[in-house]
Structure 1
């Protein structure tokens, strides 16, 4: 990609997914600015840049700018909001101060953020789902552990659509979609089938296929969800759930990474939201609900030990 195609991109949040996205986009010569939570990470990113460790072990180094101050970032840019759902409220005032012309791309897991982003209906708003496996090794090193696809759809439609194919690269595939709800529901169900089991059992994604009892749970959850959400038959099959486990076999799910790092999991926006949606249809998801409470119990234990 030539420099003439370069875009200004602001990435709010420098966790595993934020670093992975910024690394690929910076490699393509886009101008990347990070908004980080800590001053220490901002300094590290400014001085060291990002190191991406590819699935084959090769390393790629890219340069970026980073700051903790929102007013240090350009507003004539695409803003990628890569913080977790439970951190959205803390950045809300800063996002509301942006000009209405600033395009926003949200990457959160689960379904809960869809309603939250409605407050930005005067902006061009897009939704993305990320199916890559990624792990943050330290504040400037990200390991790309499983190659997937990034799906992007307009959520609040404006006449001037951004050309997200400019972000395409051999290991960072972009798939454009029209139905934001559809791609988010698909990803939420993928997460619901994989993440809670791996978090409770502390196993890799690949072990969901090799452990017979874990596999039984995953399969049961998928068909339990399918019985309530008939629309997913057009979006996702159980074979695709298995395929994602194969692609990310050595990866710890994001929910397991949260547990191992003593962070609050995303069980509410992913599984809690699905349970609430099922309740609006006068249905329940009993196996998934059991895992939901197990993960909440793990979260509560972790909070009590902090």
Structure 2
């Protein structure tokens, strides 16, 4: 099993460590050649429950990506705003391998549907924290929910089972679009607010005013995405915050590191869906504008 993972962030490194642990030959495609060199030399260091394990991987920088014929499966573990650049590169390479998209948000659905490849989506609910170019901590044990989008559905259950046996739970979902919407709503509530207030996930629940805003954001997202039977989403958001109370959201980490956030793929997507249906979303618009302003002040500064 030749597993290619494009993206050397927390999601990519976590998956790479477990895929290697499960016996796959793993190649990580990184943005920086320094990270690729370090991964080839040291492998991925996985920290879980205060225990560190080392897992060998191959690695190349994205600029050197010239062949994918050996890939059995390709995971795209890059930010949503980087997807088009990656797909433009992949389209020039000959590969019949299925592509699994692991992004937050839903902007990339239209890009997926333009491909001729077999396509899957993965909704990652595992918590991961990248500590260095070669070290990742598994901060929250959840699951990766996999859905088949288009193309020939392949016999991949054996690989999902292997990953699950080694501690990276994978669940196959037939209703993948509904799962994506649910994940998007959680992200639209938790990520912008943790970025704005600069708090960990669990701290959102400690302030009644913030909890009130969380409820408004979830209600607006449910309406904009036309989610049926959305009554279980608010308890799910609370559960996520409690289960990941010590985690920093990816959006907060992007703000802290001076990187572009995924606000466009998350709150921006919901706003565009609201415009389609002529729905006013004042709370979503407010956090979107504030995060964009904060993002600009940090990246410009």
Instruction: Give the structure-2-normalised TM-score.
Output: 0.93
Task: Give the CA deviation at 1:29.
Answer: 1.1
Aligned to 1:221: 217
Pick from 164, 174, 179 the counterpart of residue 183 of structure 1.
179
How many residues get paired?
Answer: 297
Query: Is 1:206 equivalent to 2:202 in the alignment?
Result: yes
Pick from 56, 66, 81 the counterpart of residue 63 of structure 1.
56
Pick from 114, 119, 127 the counterpart of residue 125 of structure 1.
119
Where does structure 1 lack aligned partners over 5 or more consecutive residues? 1-6
Task: Give the CA deviation at 1:59.
Answer: 1.1
| Distance across 2 between alignment mates of 1:28 and 1:136 | 20
Change (3 A) 1:235 1:177: farther
Aligned to 1:85: 80
Equivalent position SS for 1:237 = helix
Superposed CA RMSD: 1.7
User: CA offsets, 1:166-191, max 9 Å, x none?
Assistant: 32236321110123322211111110
| Distance across 2 between alignment mates of 1:95 and 1:171 | 30
User: CA offsets, 1:47-86, max 9 Å, x none?
Assistant: 11111111x2111211100011222555442000101111
| Distance across 2 between alignment mates of 1:142 and 1:74 | 28
| Distance across 2 between alignment mates of 1:176 and 1:285 | 33
| Distance across 1 between alignment mates of 2:176 and 2:155 | 14
* 8 Å Cα contact 2:185/2:222 also seen in 1: no
Equivalent position SS for 1:80 = strand
Change (3 A) 1:228 1:269: closer
User: CA offsets, 1:10-35, max 9 Å, x none?
Assistant: 00000010001111111111110011
Aligned to 1:304: 300
Deviates most, 279-288 or 14-23: 279-288
Where does structure 2 lack aligned partners over 5 or more consecutive residues? none
Task: Give the CA deviation at 1:100.
Answer: 5.2
Instruction: Give the structure-1-normalised TM-score.
Output: 0.92
Pick from 157, 162, 166 the counterpart of residue 166 of structure 1.
162
| Distance across 2 between alignment mates of 1:58 and 1:12 | 26
Change (3 A) 1:171 1:285: farther
Which aligned pairs between 1:281-300 and structure 2 lie closer than 5 A? 281-300=277-296
| Distance across 2 between alignment mates of 1:147 and 1:139 | 21
User: CA offsets, 1:139-198, max 9 Å, x none?
Assistant: 001111112111110111314343233322363211101233222111111100100000
* 8 Å Cα contact 2:224/2:270 also seen in 1: no
Aligned to 2:102: 107
Aligned to 1:152: 146
User: CA offsets, 1:222-257, max 9 Å, x none?
Assistant: 123234444252595211111111111100000000
* 8 Å Cα contact 1:134/1:146 also seen in 2: yes
Which aligned pairs between 1:257-268 and structure 2 lie closer than 5 A? 257-268=253-264
| Distance across 1 between alignment mates of 2:7 and 2:253 | 17
| Distance across 2 between alignment mates of 1:93 and 1:226 | 33
Deviates most, 31-40 or 213-222: 213-222
